[in-house]
Every structure is written in structure tokens, then in C-alpha cells.
Amino acid sequence: MRKILMALAAVFLLSYRPASVTERPDFERFFAEKKLKGSFLLYDPQRDHYTAYNFERTRQRFLPASTYKILNTLIGLETGILKDENSVMKWDSVKRDVDAWNRDNTLETAFKVSCVPCYQELARKIGLKRMREWVGKANYGKLDINANNLDTFWLEGKSTITQEEQVDFLRRIHEGNVPFAKKNLEILKKIMFIEERQGAKLYGKTGWAASGNPDIGWFVGYVEKGDKVYYFATNVESSKPVPDTFVPARRQITEAILKTMGI
């Protein structure tokens, strides 16, 4: 039996070819223009190829922040707490600094304005047991979820994910290789859509982890262009106080790089 297992392992190793990587140190200029440090990762499944700036950093672990809303949405739909993109996420009447959070939202609008209290209430409704189960089934990052942080674990604390893992999760979602119903994946895709430009459709989600120092910013998603798809994850960091460029730069850097690459 041991010899058979060793033979199978040898065959696997001979047949396995890790994705190739092209490093683009010239992409540093896009980060420098915004006075930020960070890294960029793009995966092209058509060529099984990564394009990266600061590739080693794309394997470092950071809080997922509001990029976790991608998975939180799917869990909410799969558990039946949310029905579709029009499901109402009611305002708790607590006044907050972001005006768009101070009203009832639908799932779609809550996702697009990144309504933190909406998704915190969703997490509480999902509950600890189901949240842990679905995170495990989805094979998403390394999350520290307990009774004391159920509605904050993606924003502060020990939960982490890498850019590589973000890209892999997006790819598995797009290809349907995740334990969620097809209809729920379609609802997620609908609310992740940002815009179409010259035949290319952009889907994505931003995130901002402000609980530590430095602050961490995300923009993750994918582009559909004809019959091709490209998955990306951009991560930026800045010591406090963050510059005015921090919030818009997450998308601006990403889109500038995608444009440079002809995507």
C-alpha cells in the first residue's frame, strides 16, 4: 500500500506545474503616485499565470476588512436570512458618520456602500456555529471567529487572508467550485458588478482595516472581457493619519494597472 501511495505521489509531482509568475517592479509608480505602499496580484487562468508587483507581499496575511462581505453575503443567502439582492437590511436607528448607512438598505445597496452595521447584524443572525461552518466549507483565509467577535472578526483581531487566497476564492466563486447554490452565486455577481467599459466588465469589493497601524486597504475582484476572465487583488497600506489619496487609490491603482495591461 505504501508503495502504491508513493507511486501516486510521484505521478502527481511530475504532472503538477505551479502557475508561472511575471514580476512587474515598474508598477511601483502607481503606488508611489498615491503616496502608498502595497502590492498587486493578477491571475490569468487562460495561461495559468500570475502578474505581480511586490509578489512576496501578496503572500502576507492581512485582515480581510469589508472584502469579507463577499463571503458574508453568500452565507446570508445560503442560510435563507437573505432572499435576493432586494432583501431589506433595516437601519438600527443609530446615527453614524456615513450617511448611506443611516437608512434602510437592500442587500445590493448595503454591499455597494459597504454598510458595516448592516453586515454586522447579518453576522449576528447567522450565528457563531453556522458562520464557522460555512467559512470552513468555503476554505476562506484563516479566520478567528468566537462568541466575543462574531460581528467584528473581519474588521479587527487575528483573522487574516492573503492576496493569493483572495484571488483563489474569487476564481472558485466564478467557476462555481464553492459550496453555494448557483442562484446565490448569480445574486452575488449582480451586486459585485461595478461598470462596463469598452467591452470589459468590472466586478469587485473594497475594504479598509483601520483598527491597527498601518491602515490596510483592499480592492479585490475580476474582469470579464469577452470569453476571458482575470482575477485581481490589490492591497495598500499607510501609517496614520492616512493621506486623502487612501480611499480612492484602492480602485485607482488597480484600474491604472489593468489599463496598462490591456485588460
Confidence band, pLDDT 50/70/90 cuts, at residue 19:
confident
Question: Contact at 8 Å (CB) between 204 and 220?
Answer: yes
Given the residues 66, 114, 159, 238, select the one marked as catalytic. Answer: 66
Burial class (CB in 10 A: 0-12, 13-18, 19+), 12: exposed
Domain assignment present for 4: no
Burial class (CB in 10 A: 0-12, 13-18, 19+), 8: exposed
Q: pLDDT at position 115, please?
A: 98
Amino acid at 187: I
> Starting from the edge strand earliest in sequence, which strands make up the sheet with 215-225, in order?
20-23, 49-53, 37-44, 228-238, 215-225, 200-209, 193-197
Domain assignment present for 1: no
Structural domain range at position 123: 18-260
Domain assignment present for 112: yes
Average confidence (pLDDT) over 201-224:
97
Domain assignment present for 2: no
The span from the CA of 215 to the CA of 192, in Å, is 24
For the cut 60, the answer to whether the pLDDT of residue 133 exceeds it is yes
Q: pLDDT at position 13, please?
A: 40
Domain assignment present for 255: yes
Q: pLDDT at position 8, please?
A: 52
Residue 7's H or E segment, with its range, is: helix 2-15
Domain assignment present for 6: no
Specify the number of domains making up the chain. 1
Catalytic residue list contains 20:
no
For the chain, give the mean pLDDT.
Answer: 94
For the cut 70, the answer to whether the pLDDT of residue 15 exceeds it is no
Domain assignment present for 224: yes
Question: Contact at 8 Å (CB) between 156 and 209?
Answer: yes
Q: pLDDT at position 12, please?
A: 44
Domain assignment present for 10: no
For the cut 80, the answer to whether the pLDDT of residue 5 exceeds it is no
3-state secondary structure of 198: coil
Q: pLDDT at position 78, please?
A: 98
C-alpha cell at 78: 445560503
Report the Cα 122 to chain-centroid distance in Å: 18
C-alpha cell at 104: 434602510
Q: Among 18-27, 158-167, 175-184, 198-207, which stretch is predicted with the lowest mean pLDDT?
A: 18-27
The span from the CA of 119 to the CA of 124, in Å, is 9
Share of the chain above pLDDT 90, in %: 92
CATH, residue 126: 3.40.710.10
